Amino acid sequence: MPPEAVQPRTLPAPPVQRRRIVGDAAALLLRAASPERRHLAIGTLWLLLAAGLEALGPLAGKVLIDQYLLPRDADLPRMAALLVGALVAGIVASWLRYRQLVRLAGVAMRSVQRIRETVYGHVLRLPMAFFDHAIIGQLVSRVTNDTEAVKGLYVQVLFVILDSLIILTGAMLAMLWLDWRLMLIVAALVPAVALIVYLYQRLSAPAVTRTRELRSELNAQVAESIAGMPVLQAANATQRFRDRFATLNEGHYRSRRRELRANAWLLRPVLDFLNVLLLAIVLAVFGFRAGGQALSTVEVGILYAFISYISRVIEPLVQITMQFSQLQQALVSASRVHALLAEAETPVAGDRGRVGAGAIAIERLTFAYQPGRPVLHDITLELPAGSFHGIVGHTGSGKSTLLSLLLRFYAAPAGSVRIDGVPLEGIPEESFRASVGLVPQEPFLLAATARENIAVGRPLSDAQVEAAARAAHADGFIRALAQGYDTFLGEGGARLSTGQKQLLAIARALAGEPRILLLDEATAHVDSETEQVVQRALAALRGRVTVVAIAHRLSTVRDADRIVVLNHGRIAELGTHAQLMEIPDGLYQRLVQLQQLEEEE
Ligand SMILES: Nc1ncnc2c1ncn2[C@@H]1O[C@H](COP(=O)(O)OP(=O)(O)OP(=O)(O)O)[C@@H](O)[C@H]1O
């Protein structure tokens, strides 16, 4: 296998700072749980009460031993009252714990539901520049898997750790009351456990982070392979992708195994050993104090209570530490979700102005994706309302970039683009998107019906959808489908030809009744007949809609009011087809001649 096949395709992650991960995760939890403050407070309060009631059990046992059993004082009514009291306290405590855990489970699930919706909503508002670098599978993983793992964080933090801490505190307080010196011996367990957790974390944290990274890469590869399946199969690359997947998967298995080893060695066995050690120490202390004599009745009672409490201290500590590996994973996930949420959203546009007739004015527009490397230079252009402009130029000359700026996918320098006199950045989003339609180069279709694909969630009547389809000359082929407008088009419109998809995309853009229509090589993949259909559809918009069409196929824009010829990000020529053809040795003329040659070949 070639070495590059095993390299992960994502950039190596910067070393993760533990403190930052915990801080990010805490910020995310607080944010998601803030509407649940009341439930959290009540749940914690009742859990405290439950722990208090549970702590009474061994105390009742101590009193029973001290006052009745050892002195052989069979005061039956009092003994029965003590036992019934302890039983009722136990039942109430169990009921309270059950109710509160159900309550906190609700808090956890609602919070995660909220986080997932927030993350998805946030992703929808991210600027296009973000998606230039995003890997789809990893993003999907953030929205689904990582948010699910955050639920683990809630379950661990809220249920196990909170509940365990409360039980622990209750038992420690009871021991403090019984014999503070013995309590101090038991309390020595807490730093010992802290040390174990620290060691565990040191050993397993890199493996936990790596496991999650690899899982996300596995997702990314599956998503990418499915999206590019025709290319993969045609290029006979499936074996290579299988190998790469297997290597990633093997890495995932190894790092998961490392994690589990640390878990298996450090957690339960060490804690169980500490439990035994502690019992031995407490028994030794009692033996030492008694100095060979029989224990007094008071001491027997205390010994009984202490042995009960030690198991109550150990069990929560075991629970907390056992949850640690999951907690680690959940923390990493939460911090990644937090990082995604920290990505700056597209700035909110102003609230003045709206698109009217659709006149576009571009003035001295210079734009760079990377600082210092402009791809558009000093563009000045007037596009009157209702006009039809074609944009042509060689590959990489900046045509799509200009369109992306008109679409506000990237922020154009303030004031350099105006629509009806209003700076682009000042037009409210709703009004802007409703007035500017796009027909992209790759017509993106949803796995839905033809009707839904034209409406894309907008509240359009059937008549409006069908009128748009007629205007795009798509009505004929849609009606010929098995269920007409209600025909399911398959994932990505798999049941349509490329030309039909393109007409559908035009219908979708027209259905919004835009004032401005932008087309990005809408005829690149269609046959000459469909191209003529598109041309007729565009011609019908003349005077009503401002049309800007990028075209590789020059015949599409031949009839445009003006054709803009871009060359290395600058306007090289501007005029009608006839005017441009007259420029001696002109760029446009050469493009036309080249295309004629290609067609003849
Ligand atoms: N998202 C991006 N990030 C960085 N550089 C980009 C990005 N998109 C395009 N470029 C660069 O900007 C330049 C102009 O690209 P653009 O896509 O606008 O050209 P184009 O004329 O539309 O090309 P084509 O006809 O091939 O679609 C190119 O050099 C390209 O590499």
> Are 418 and 327 in a shared domain?
no
Within 10 angstroms of residue 558's Cβ, the number of other Cβ atoms is 15
- Is the domain of 371 the same as that of 334? no
Residues 390 and 331 in one domain: no
Whole-model pTM above 0.90? no
CA nearest ligand 1 atom 24, residue: 395
Task: Flag whether pLDDT at 6 surpasses 70.
Answer: no
Q: Give a yes or no: residue 48 inside a domain.
A: yes
In angstroms, what is the C-alpha Rg of the chain?
35
pLDDT (tens digit per residue) in 424-479 = 888 888 888 888 988 888 888 888 899 998 988 888 899 999 999 998 888 998 99
Q: What is the ipTM of this complex?
A: 0.95
Range of the domain at 584: 360-600
Q: Which has more pLDDT, 201 or 508? A: 508
Q: What is the CATH number of the domain that holds 240?
A: 1.20.1560.10
On the question of pLDDT at 172 being above 90, the answer is: no
User: Are 364 and 263 in a shared domain?
Assistant: no
- φ/ψ (deg, to 5) at 488: -75, 130
Q: Are residues 315 and 367 in the same domain?
A: no
What is the distance between the alpha carbons of residues 310 and 324, in angstroms, rounded to a whole number? 21
What is the distance between the alpha carbons of residues 526 and 476, in angstroms, rounded to a whole number?
Answer: 17
Are the C-beta atoms of 111 and 33 separated by less than 8 Å?
yes
Helix, strand, coil percentages for the chain (3-state, nearest 5): 65, 10, 25
Which amino acid residue places its CA nearest to atom 6 of ligand 1? 369
Q: What is the DSSP letter of 449?
A: B
User: By alpha-carbon position, which residue is closest to atom 17 of ligand 1?
Assistant: 400
Say yes or no: 451 and 545 in one domain.
yes
Span 21-77, pLDDT tens digits: 778 877 887 778 788 889 888 988 888 888 888 878 788 888 888 777 777 767 778
Same-domain status, 335 and 481 = no
Helices 268-290, 238-266: axis angle to 10 degrees equals 0
Q: Is pLDDT above 60 for 9?
A: no
Same domain, 309 and 370: no
Could you tell me the distance, in angstroms and rounded to a whole number, from the CA of residue 430 to the centre of ligand 1? 27
For 365, phi and psi rounded to 5 degrees? -85, 120
Hey, what are 215's tokens? 């899982």
pLDDT tens per residue, range 225-242: 887 787 788 777 888 889
Cα–Cα distance for residue pair 361/465, rounded to 1 Å: 31
How much distance in Å is there from the Cα of 411 to the middle of ligand 1? 15
User: Is there a domain that residue 461 lies in?
Assistant: yes
Show the ligand 1 pocket: residues with CB < 6 angstroms. Answer: 132, 369, 375, 393, 395-401
Of 400, 548, 587, best ligand 1 pocket probe by most atoms within 8 Å of the beta carbon: 400
pLDDT for residue 79: 81
- What pLDDT score does 491 carry? 67
For a substitution probing ligand 1, which of 367, 375, 405, 567 has the most ligand atoms within 8 Å of its CB? 375
CA dist., res. 199 & res. 229, Å (int): 45
* Residue 5 in domain: no
Kindly state the DSSP code that residue 394 receives in the 8-state scheme. S
Q: Which of 339, 397, 379, 295 is nearest to 130 (CA)?
A: 339
Q: What is the predicted pLDDT for the residue at 292?
A: 61
